A and B are shown apart, each in its own frame.
Chain A
Amino acid sequence: MVKALYMSISDCTGCQQCEMACSYEHEGVFNPAKSRIKVFNFPEEGRNVPYSCTQCADAWCMQACPVDAIYINTKTGAKEVSDALCVGCKVCTIACPFGTINYNHATGKVIKCDLCGGDPKCVEICPTPALTYIDAEQTGMAKMRLWAKKTDAGQAAQS
């Protein structure tokens, strides 16, 4: 089963623990600026939105890479960057429509979410249900269940 990193925006409190777990896992320090997942605060809207790579099936970053440094991890389906091959040209950062692949000046390579090899640390550390790692073909189940329950109770028409 291929799994996906799933983000439930309404559950995010904006604490940034995910960013610390991510930067620690990949860089060995707590540094939100080096995290592959980012939480954006929109205080006037009372909303916090976590954002990261969605691992596109037909990944634009991978297609754009002139040296084939981006490859598919066959176990997780994650598009990963080979530091040995990456030349830091940043074309992938332009190709990605979502901005979730970024250049790291310290190493001269690009960085993106690699799903931690199938054990995403951001999910492990998240104190709320905002981040889950679930069946990629069933990401809508929780939402469907919620709405189905409302239908049962006759609430759907009211909400």
Chain B
Amino acid sequence: MSWTKKILRVNLTSGTCVSEPLNMDWAKKYIGQRGLATKYFVEECDPKVDPMSPENKLIFATGPLTGTAAPTSGRWSVICKGPLTGAIACSNSGGFFGAELKNAGWDMIIFEGKSAKPVYLDIDNENAELKDASAMWGMSVWDTEDALRAARGDNDIRCASVGQAGESGVLFAGVVNDKDRAAGRSGVGAVMGSKNLKAIACRGTVGVPVDDAMKFMQAAGAAKQILADNAVTGEGLPTYGTQVLMNVINETGALPTHNAKDIQFDGASKIGGEAMTEPRESDGKANLVSNAACFGCPISCQRVSQMDANHFTVKGQPKYHGKEGGLEYEAAWALGAATGVSDLETLTYCNYICNEYGMDPISLGSTVAAAMELYEIGAITDKETGGIKLEWGSAEALAKICDQTGLGQGFGKEIGQGSRRLCEKYGHPELSMTVKSQEFPAYDPRGIQGMGLTYATSNRGACHLRSYTVASEVLGIPEKTDPLTSDGKPGLVKAFQDATAAVDSTGTCIFTTFALTMDDISPMMAADSEGGWTSETMMEAGERIWNLERKFNNDAGFTAADDLLPQRMLKDAAKTGPAKGKVSDLLKMLPEYYELRGWTAEGVPSNETLARLAL
């Protein structure tokens, strides 16, 4: 029952908003959110579609647990064909927007076509209308949210929008909601901008009923107790956020540094979670103010930060002097360790403007790191950078180039095309730390072997959130495996990929799986929604979703040759730390992975596999 069973179809070309019933046969096979929206997308869109053309579609999707009392029920996703990768893009966010959309009575919004002029979608429960956004075009995400609240005269609306980066076609532009939560990766914001769609403003007061409320509250209560009692979800994440990982991963010897030339960063302790709680030398105050929660979340890993108002990046700019969304591990790593910058305040500023302009800090930091290496070897010079000295560890250069990228100015225009295109243009494709044109996140495949296979086979390009084997290889969840061996990793990656696809599709947060197993999650689904959900049917749905995404990518032109890591990972051994002397064993893991998946040696799902999964 906890699907609203209604889809809002918005044609931006004709300006129409139409309600249609949810395909329940699909819902029972693909759960919701990531899975169900991908099914709609694959059925409706040509895999060869140009991602930035009006023919690409853009889906905003909630899951059956979104907006319920399930722990972490604030998750929602944006699905389209990604302009950075050319692969299926599914970018997941938290905050409050998703629950508001569900509370307004919608499982999904499917955007088609392209508006002739800038518009935003205004949703008030069952009423949805496209409105003129000409006055908001050119505004940041932060200003857009203020303008939408003023236009509606309602402070309680929740918004998702693109900033200047999405408007100007930065290929890793994100969709940002609630000012500092983001569907950040793969360029879903660039697709939104290409459609002249500035924002969605939503108010929902209809409510979310569940199938068997009594059973649901029992299952949700049990899950919350497990989360509260767990060391990661009950203590580590609330206290330090994801930034709890910075020192841990550095000591593991898997922190890609200086565009992955190194595998450990000597400045790591200055930019991690512990550093955020320590008094600054400049003003004696800590960067971190408090933690905060997304909708329905008992974990509360979000960081709230406040910068030193006299720091060179924000001096005289009061809009950055308040309390804002602080650094998470991925952003601190990409903007920091990858570029060699160890000034916490500069990284905080760059993270702020990623939220403000609407950009993915992972791809941004990684691309700047690639540019720094190009600059180091002389492939680009001050002539290309417009005088910005892109030297390793330069906080000034980092702040300047991040600003230019978000605003589509100067050399920032080239950074905004991502690392693969940048490195190819300047003759060194081998310096791009990407898979399927998407930049690496914060784990080095030489030091954590499972993550190499994770990146190589991720359906949206290099990504840690598709199979977070770090949980097992570093944190020992659900059981400890050796990060330096590739033995057993293909099976581990497959299991994580399928489980993650299922959890993403429910509308809850993957962070719950540090503590919860599918046996804790499936009872919530069973009580929430019709379909008789069990751990087995959830895992099967996850595998079905994974294969559906893979099939779309194959049809879009991707082959096994795209399941590859940069040569640096395969040939240049790690120089220091526990992984010293190691390269990634990807080429050993891939054939075993294909076989476990029931795919051909060319990485294509076999007919038997497709039939088994009813695809």
Contact = CB atoms under 8 A, between A and B. Distances in A.
Interface size class of A (residues with CB under 8 A): 20 to 34
Contacts of B291: 13
B294 interface: yes
Contact of B207 (A13, A16, A33, A44): A33
Contact of B293 (A15, A29, A31): A15
Contact of A30 (B68, B297, B298): B68
Interface residues of B, number: 37
Contacts of B228: 127
Given A15-B295, A17-B296, A28-B213, A46 B289 contact: yes
A70 B506 CA distance: 42
A21 to B, nearest CB: 7
B298 A17 contact: yes
Nearest to A20: B69
Contact of A31 (B179, B208, B213, B292): B208
Given A29-B208, A31-B207, A34-B205, A44 B322 contact: yes
Contacts of A31: 103, 205-208
Contacts of B290: 46
Nearest to A27: B207
Nearest to B300: A13
A24 interface: yes
A148 to B, nearest CB: 24
Contacts of A29: 207-209
Interface string A108-135: 0000000000000000010110000000
B7 interface: no
A11 to B, nearest CB: 10
Given A13-B300, A21-B69, A125-B69, A28 B209 contact: yes
A13 B205 contact: no
B304 A20 contact: no
A104 to B, nearest CB: 11
Contacts of B454: none
Interface in A29-86: 29-34, 43-46, 48
A150 B300 CA distance: 27
B323 A15 contact: no
Contacts of B217: 24
Contacts of A32: 99, 103
A20 B179 contact: no
Interface string B163-179: 00000000000000011
B210 interface: yes
Contact of B304 (A28, A33, A46): A46
B450 interface: no
Interface string B66-99: 0111000000000000000000000000001001
A33 B291 CA distance: 25
Contacts of B68: 20, 30
A30 B289 CA distance: 31
Interface in B161-212: 178-180, 204-210
A100 interface: no
A54 to B, nearest CB: 22
B224 interface: yes
Contacts of B469: none
Given A13-B300, A45-B322, A30 B210 contact: yes
Interface string B291-331: 11111111010001010000000000000001110000000
Contact of B292 (A14, A20, A24, A44): A14
| Residue from A14, A20, A27 having most chain B Cβ neighbours under 10 A | A20
A92 B304 CA distance: 38
A23 interface: yes
Contacts of A125: 69, 221, 224
Contacts of A13: 291-293, 297, 300
Contacts of B324: 43-44
Interface in A1-29: 13-17, 20-21, 23-24, 27-29
A33 B306 CA distance: 31
Contacts of A20: 68-69, 296
A29 B322 CA distance: 36
A44 B296 contact: no
A108 B342 CA distance: 60
A10 to B, nearest CB: 8
Nearest to A48: B292
A30 B293 contact: no
A75 B228 CA distance: 32
A20 B224 CA distance: 14
A34 B207 contact: yes
Given A30-B207, A45-B322, A16 B289 contact: no
| Residue from A20, A24, A30, A48 having most chain B Cβ neighbours under 10 A | A30
A15 B289 contact: no
A46 B292 contact: yes
A30 B224 contact: no
23 contacts: A13-B291, A13-B292, A14-B293, A15-B294, A15-B295, A17-B69, A17-B298, A20-B68, A20-B69, A20-B296, A29-B208, A30-B68, A30-B69, A31-B103, A31-B208, A33-B103, A33-B204, A44-B322, A44-B324, A46-B289, A46-B304, A46-B323, A127-B300
**Considering the complex of A and B, which 10 residue pairs feature the smallest CB-CB distances, nearest first?**
A31-B207, A127-B298, A46-B323, A33-B205, A15-B293, A13-B293, A29-B207, A20-B69, A13-B300, A44-B322
Given A14-B293, A28-B209, A127-B228, 5 more contacts: A15-B294, A23-B207, A24-B217, A31-B103, A45-B322
Interface of B: 67-69, 96, 99, 103, 178-180, 204-210, 213, 217, 221, 224, 228, 289-298, 300, 304, 306, 322-324
